[in-house]
Structure 1
Amino acid sequence: MQLDVRGPRFAAVVTTVVLIVTALTRSGWLAAAQAVVFAVGAVSARHAPYGALFRVLVAPRLGPPRAVEPAEPVRFAQAVGFVFATVAAIGFLSGATAVGLVATAFALIAAFLNAAFGLCLGCEAYLLLRRVTGPRRA
């Protein structure tokens, strides 16, 4: 599956805003909601909530995509985000605020780099992992 490169970047903008609010409010429930969003994106790039918003509300106003990218690195990045958001939620909800803030900060840095500069750290980690482990065999 190929994705319009603007979709994951849009999702990163929304994620950045959500994670900033999460950090400021120290909300474990908001971190948990973001973890669910990441989990859905990790399972299916087509059904990712922020990607769906992009496809329905934004993409029709932008015209056809100029570039596409494979979905697998994006799904891997969403899985990594899920781990950090889950740790953040557990931290905030259990009273370990420092753990919640650190996990939120890591996810926020990654989302911001993608939103602002188009640098997807999770995607880069996926590509590095694939180089190290070799291609998948069916």
Structure 2
Amino acid sequence: MSQDIRIDPRGYRFGAAVTLAVALVALILGAGVAGTVVIGVLALMFLPGATVGPQATVQAWLFKRLLRPRIGPPTETESFRPPRFAQQMGLAMAAAAFVFGLLDIAAGFYLFTGLVTVASFLNAVFGFCLGCEIYLLLKRTTTRAA
């Protein structure tokens, strides 16, 4: 993918709020079957964002159809690449939590579900995308090394 797709940063912040809600439900339900199913659904929700970009998620679709018509177009856009990396990190953490839930290892379930919760909280509430910042740090590090 050579072109840099531009996205509305409010969209992936909304997506983080949806992620936060789902992750909190998983934490409340706990490491049993119900919590494991919910975190598995969250992992599936991350999949299109991790492979295509955040513009391909269910959350982005909801944002475009329900919120954006009411708040208008963005004043600025951002590259999809850092949020896609954040989605990849979210997918990895949610998948790890799901596997730990399946294996009935509560500590692993809570650790990885907690990481998803904290990261989505930071983005939804403060607009701080932890995965995006890690992407930019890695990009700067690899660019200097080249």
Give distance in 1, aligned partners of 2:36 and 2:134: 27
CA deviation map 1:72-126 (0-9, x unaligned): 0000000000010001111112111111001000111000000000000000000
TM (norm. structure 1) is: 0.94
Distance in structure 2 (CA, Å) of the matches to 1:42 and 1:59: 22
Aligned partners of 1:84 and 1:106 also within 8 Å: yes
Alignment partner of 2:7: what SS? strand
Match of 2:40 among 7, 10, 32: 32
Give the TM-score, by structure 2 length: 0.89
Which residue does 2:65 correspond to in 1? 56
| Percent sequence identity over aligned pairs | 39
**Contact 1:10–1:54 (8 Å) recurs in 2:** yes
Is residue 2:112 matched to residue 1:108?
Answer: no
Report whether the alignment pairs 1:11 with 2:44: no
How many pairs were matched up? 136
Structure 2, unpaired ranges of 5+: none
Q: Indicate conservation of the 8 Å contact 1:38/1:82, yes or no.
A: yes
Question: Within 2, Cα distance between the matches of 1:95 and 1:122?
Answer: 28
Structure 2 residue matching 1:134: 3-state secondary structure: helix
How far residue 20 of structure 1 moved from its aligned partner, in angstroms, is 0.4
Q: Which moved more, 1:3-12 or 1:45-54?
A: 45-54
1:90 to 99, 104, 107: 99
The code of the aligned residue for 1:72 comes to: R
How far 1:69 moved relative to its partner?
0.9
Q: Is the 8 A contact 1:13 1:111 kept in 2?
A: yes
Quote the residue 2:85 is aligned against. Answer: 76
What is the root-mean-square deviation of aligned Cα atoms in Å? 1.3
Q: Which deviations, in whole Å up to 9, do the C-alpha atoms of 1:22-46 show, x marking residues without a partner?
A: 0110211111111111111011223
